[in-house]
Structures are given as structure tokens and as C-alpha cells.
Amino acid sequence: MPYLLDPTIPPEGKPRSPRTAPDAPPTPMEQRGQAGGLTFTRGGVLTPSSHLALQTAEFANDHDLHSDGLHRALFKAHFEDLENIGDADIVVRLATEHGIDGEALREALDSGTYRERVDEQIEWARSLGVTGVPTFIFNEKYAIVGAQEYPVFQRVMAELGHSPRGEDATPSEPPPAS
């Protein structure tokens, strides 16, 4: 589901100063990312708007294209390669590399075909109280906000009556809906 962490970022992005010194020890988020095979490159000086990337994902969904590879490529481009995912040339290039018709995507982005749908979905998420990403919503009643460890998901699934996988899951109070 599309979501903008900061809806005030203009389409051209917003300049920013790096938050972490290049030689500082890894932050807890960087450590969690490393454990999951993700790299967060330091030194970015632009916070891009992700709206075109979200529209690209909608395009892929509408064309029955499995977008996992595309999502990973967009994530890598933004967090690891420090590319501007608010730039149509970049998202079209990444999409083309994942088997998406670049010309058709470019036309959809230029015409705004998916803009309104993305905006409506963002508003729907906000109406549910989503305030961060990732947010996982179960049965439109329970939510897990943020990057959580697998046992958290197991507990929620057990609370919802699904057999958890793994031995370390014990049912407990589900997290409050956000």
C-alpha cells in the first residue's frame, strides 16, 4: 500500500544534511538492516519524493508484473546507491531492468494515470492511523508498526487464530491498532 512518510517533500525532493558521520558506529537501524542483508549508505544530501516510485509500483501491479524485484531495486537505489527515486528517468530505468515496458510506464507517469489512486491509498492509510512504514495491518483491526522481529508477527497471527510457525511464538496481547 502506498504511503508517504513526509508528504511535504516536493516532487523535486528536499535537500538535507547527512545525519550520521561516515566513521560513526552503525546505528541500531543500520545494524538491523545489515542483519537482513540491507545496506544503508551514509552521506545522502537529498530526500527524494517517493510519489513516482509509488506510481511505478501501481503500474506494475495493474499489469500483473510481480513487483518484488522492482521494490527491492527501488529500495536499493534509494538507500544504498543514493539515487533520486523521485526522478522519472531513474524509476523508468529500474522498471525496464525488471521487465516493465519503459515507454508505457513513462506515458503513465507523464500523464499522471496513477497519481490520484496513489493519493487515495495514502489517504486511506492515514485514515486508519498509519504513521510509519512499514505498517502491517491484520483484519483491519490490528497493526504492527515498524520493522519488527518475526516473533511479533507470530504472536499476532496466533492471536488471530492462525497456527504460528516456529517454537518461540506464544500468544500474547496483539499490538494496538494504529
- Going from N- to C-terminal start, the domains of the chain cover 14-127, 129-178
CA atoms within 13 A on the CB side of 26: 12
The set of residues, in sequence order, having a beta carbon less than 8 Å from that of 67 and lying 6+ positions away, is 57, 60, 61, 98
Whether residue 174 has pLDDT greater than 70? no
Measured CA to CA, the distance from residue 138 to residue 22 in angstroms comes to: 39
Name residue 137's beta-bridge partners.
Answer: 143
- Put simply, whether the predicted model's pTM sits higher than 0.75 gets the answer yes
pLDDT tens column, 115-173: 999 999 999 888 888 888 888 888 877 788 887 888 888 888 888 888 766 554 444 44
pLDDT for 164? 60
Structurally, what CATH architecture does the domain formed by 14-127 represent? Answer: 3-Layer(aba) Sandwich (3.40)
Instruction: Please say whether the beta carbons of 57 and 67 come within 8 A.
Output: yes
Instruction: Please say whether the beta carbons of 33 and 165 come within 8 A.
Output: no
